[in-house]
Amino acid sequence: MRKPEIREKILEFIRHSFDERGYAPTVRDIVKGCNLSSTSVAQHHLNTLEKEGRIHRDPQVVRSIQLMKKDIVEVPLLGAIAAGKPIPVPSSDTWTTPPEETLKLTADMIGNKSNIYALKIKGTSMLDALIDDGDIVVMEAVSTAEDGQMVAVWLKDEQEATLKKIYREPGRIRLQPANKQMKPIYVKPQNIEVQGKVVAVLRRLSR
């Protein structure tokens, strides 16, 4: 008899415990809070939850339950971006090598996306996207995008990277600047390469 509902209830109770009290519940707290009949029941479900990777516990340690979902995510902060050069895309070892610069973001800013990284913009080549020198652009590393989304594209002929809203039109692609006062440019489909979606833009002032 699979019983996922009771484990969801336990997870919910653990979350509630962190919210209300600031720390994890004990096994016996869970017994009371979820109307279980015995510590063994709780123990059993906690072991299952740990096997499923939903929680982590340190053996023998009181109140050591940790939920695996995070409120703060650290994303790699890649180097400068310059006019006439492709936007840096993280390589496979960029995701693993830790001693790089990172940026802390609240999880609700990026939803539950993965492959997120950030770029620090140098120079004013992105002014038409309302992005200033020093701004930080949060990107999702994807190679496809839906119409209307703000994407980073590499223009092969022009050897230039740019941030625009993308619209597919018959025989051509329209790239629309975020600043609506500026006119769109049109390119041939084979001339562009989508390097990522823009998830957010961040400007820090008054430091």
Partner DNA sequence: TGTTCTATAGAACACTCGTTAAATATAAAT
Partner DNA sequence: ATTTATATTTAACGAGTGTTCTATAGAACA
Site for DNA, rule CB under 7 A: 1-3, 6, 26-29, 36-41, 43-45, 48, 57, 59-63
Pick one of DNA, a copy of itself, none as the site partner of residue 83 (Cβ within 5 to 8 A by kind). none
Options 17, 164, 165, 197, the catalytic residue: 164
Distance in Å, CB of 59 to DNA, minimum:
4
**Counting Cβ atoms within 10 Å, is residue 110 exposed (0-12), middle (13-18) or buried (19+)?**
middle
Known catalytic residue: 125?
yes
CA end-to-end distance (rounded Å), the chain: 58
Print the binding letters for residues 90-119 with a copy of itself: x by CB under 8 A, - otherwise: --------------xxx-xx-x--------
Q: Check residue 202 for interaction with a copy of itself (CB under 8 A).
A: yes
CB atoms within 10 A of CB 83: 12
Contact 163, 152 (CB under 8 A): yes
Options 125, 143, 180, 183, the catalytic residue: 125
Token pair belonging to 11: 């997870």
Residue with tokens 């620090």: 120
Known catalytic residue: 164?
yes
**What DSSP string describes 27-75?**
HHHHHHHTT-S-HHHHHHHHHHHHHTTSEE--TT-TT--EES--SEEEE
Pick one of a copy of itself, DNA, none as the site partner of residue 9 (Cβ within 5 to 8 A by kind). none
Q: Check residue 200 for interaction with a copy of itself (CB under 8 A).
A: yes
Q: Check residue 132 for interaction with a copy of itself (CB under 8 A).
A: yes
How far, in Å, are 6, 28, 49, 50, 68 from residue 9 at the CA level? 5, 15, 12, 15, 16
For DNA, the closer CB: 63 or 122: 63
Backbone dihedral angles phi then psi of residue 116, each to the nearest 5 degrees: -100, 135
Among 92, 144, 190, 206, binds a copy of itself (CB under 8 A): 206
Distance in Å, CB of 69 to DNA, minimum:
20
Pick one of DNA, a copy of itself, none as the site partner of residue 51 (Cβ within 5 to 8 A by kind). none
- Count Cα atoms within 13 angstroms, Cβ side, for 145: 28
Catalytically active residues are: 125, 164
Query: Where does this chain bind a copy of itself (CB under 8 A)?
Result: 21-24, 26, 56, 58, 61-64, 66, 71-72, 104-106, 108-109, 111, 124, 127, 130-132, 135, 140, 149-150, 178-181, 197-207
